[in-house]
Structure 1
Amino acid sequence: MAGTSITTLKLLGLGSLGLLTSSIIYQSIQNIPILINQLNSIYQFNIFKLNNQLTLTKNYIFGSRIVNILLTGLSTFLFSLAFKYSPIDEKHPYLIYSAIGAPLTLLGIYFNSWNYEDKILSKPDLITTTAPKTKSNRSNVTSTTPSSVISEEDAANNQDLNEFDEPEIISKVNTADDLGKSYVHLSDESGISTPTSTQPPSPQIKHQSDEEEDDDEHNVIEEETNEPKEVKHSDEVDLEIQNILIKKEIVQDLENIKFGFKLGSYISSFSLSIALIGLIGDLYFV
């Protein structure tokens, strides 16, 4: 009965080591290269997709750590129990080699890769570009028109109104010598009129002055808005360059992680071969 239980422990240990080996090999040749290709295929200015891919990469790294640590612990525990409770004549060295094979595999994977995985896990989401200015910002800019422009325009309008609002005194003089003919005279307050009375300004002149004022106001607004647009464009370029560098850094970190998994797959495969050969010899040739 004891022999059957020990054999079961050996088989379970071999199975957990085999799962660890196949998982590491699959990750090194399939999963990690897929993550790298997905990052490279995303357009570098598509911040939304890059953030989603970064989140997917973080979840994959975290889940991979849990699976690898669990399988390593299970394999080491089962082979250690099998070696401890085996009879003296059945304490074969392959059980020790198989028990330390899984921790050595984990060491080979995460000796350098652990730091690169921490760098990816600690990265925040990529920065989005600044939002364009709304129409309210435009109205705020136009409200900052210099008071001199506004005062000149108001003064011109007030002058035009005063010219048209001046009262005119009409005097009518009828004399007998004029044989019933009547003359209407336009005058100021004195009642005497002259043909050279003040006339309102020409509509053409007023129209030209209004156009000049509009042009001055437009130039002032353009001078005030040119500098913020240049600053905004410079900020967007800086953010885009920063996001490109972050993307390249993540890809390079994944390349280093893939190398660590390849090294771990070699160690794990060698340990699995020792455990398999030892178990076959233990069951059929001893």
Structure 2
Amino acid sequence: MADSPDKNKEDELAGTEQPFVAHLMELRDRLLYCVYGLVIAGILLSIWPGPSGLIDLIAVPIRAHMPHDAKLIAVGVFSPFFVPLKVLLMAAVLLALPWLMYQAWMFVAPGLYSHEKKFALPLIIFGSFLAYCGIAFVQFFVLDKMFGFIQRFTPASVAATPDIASYVESILSLYLAFGVAFQVPIVVMLLVRFEMVTIDKLKSFRGYFIVLAFVVAAVLTPPDVVSQLALAIPMCLLYEVGIIAARYFSKFSKSPEESADSAQP
């Protein structure tokens, strides 16, 4: 009796194993490519808009709520030098993010099956897009509303002239918090794809996630209600997006064997 086609079918990754040293060399090369990308992005941003231009850009939300002639101050001796460099590095990472994600993809791709490659790359692209959306949301909406809210509580006898170093540190933490929080759909899709949880379970967990979102927002954002709501509400909406997307993603990313098994009565 002939064996079934499934038994005769060879593992497509069979024979592709590499020595540990080869993996280390590949990792080294990918890290070097990441560094090259960051250097190129840094050079381009140094030419235009330049460190001063980047500082002016990220200072727009707070300066809109300061007196007309007021400026941010530099308390530290070396702040005028190191703060623009920190902002330049942050901007270089954001500009080179697709390239960095591509290098991560190229490192892990040889160890993935064809059906896994089919959904891994779109997830990387979608995740990068969500991170950009989270950071843009902070820059163009959250900061303006947050500083407007805080400014209402500033006494008339107090001149609100924040230190540039503390300001940059605060907004960098917000960028990171929103960039990570906006990955909720990716997490939900992967949980469903790897059968760690069902869509029905996610729906029943909806109320608990709303509470969790507000707790996370209270921990990650400044102690003002505006920024907390601005993080918690999008997380709840993105949770719903993840539930909807997971239904289609789990079907699209199935292996041929899984599709055949699900098609059987």
Return the TM-score normalized by structure 2. 0.30
Structure showing greater radius of gyration is 1
Q: Give me the TM-score of the superposition, normalised by structure 1.
A: 0.28
Larger RCO: Structure 1 or Structure 2 (Cα < 8 Å, ≥ 6 residues apart)? 1
Q: Which has the higher strand share?
A: 1
